[in-house]
């Protein structure tokens, strides 16, 4: 599963990212009540420069390219995380 986020800082080779949460509606995300901040290596980014559209006065955000990002994530996941046992 992929999640959009905002890069807030750089910590050595890692980037500090504040992540959004998915809603039940495909492509729609919200900022969580408590910040979800994690350090992420750049090779785990599937896209940069994605700007969501505000759909509910800053409470909900829609990413129109979510289907394309789902496909990119699936390719990335198949390449790096799924193995034939």
Say yes or no to pLDDT of 83 above 70: no
Question: Which tokens is 30 given?
Answer: 């919200």
Predicted local confidence at residue 84, as pLDDT: 60
Supply angle C-alpha 18, 19, 21, rounded to 5: 150
- Number of domains present in the structure of the chain: 1
- Domain assignment of residue 51, yes or no: yes
- Domain assignment of residue 85, yes or no: no
- Domain assignment of residue 66, yes or no: yes
Question: Which tokens is 32 given?
Answer: 């969580």
- Rounded CA gap, 29 and 62, in Å? 6
Domain that holds residue 75: 5-80
The rounded mean pLDDT for the chain is 93
Say yes or no to pLDDT of 12 above 80: yes
pLDDT, tens digit (0-9, with 9 covering 90-100), for 29-62: 999 999 999 999 999 999 999 999 999 888 999 9
Predicted local confidence at residue 42, as pLDDT: 93
């Amino acid at each position: 599963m992929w999640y959009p986020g905002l890069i807030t800082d750089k910590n050595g080779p890692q980037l500090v990212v504040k992540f959004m949460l998915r809603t039940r509606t495909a492509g729609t995300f919200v900022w969580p009540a408590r910040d979800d901040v994690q350090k992420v290596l750049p090779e785990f980014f599937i896209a940069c420069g994605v700007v969501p559209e505000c759909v509910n006065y800053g409470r909900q955000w829609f990413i129109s390219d979510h289907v394309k990002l789902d496909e990119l994530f699936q390719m990335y996941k198949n390449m790096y995380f799924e193995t034939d046992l």
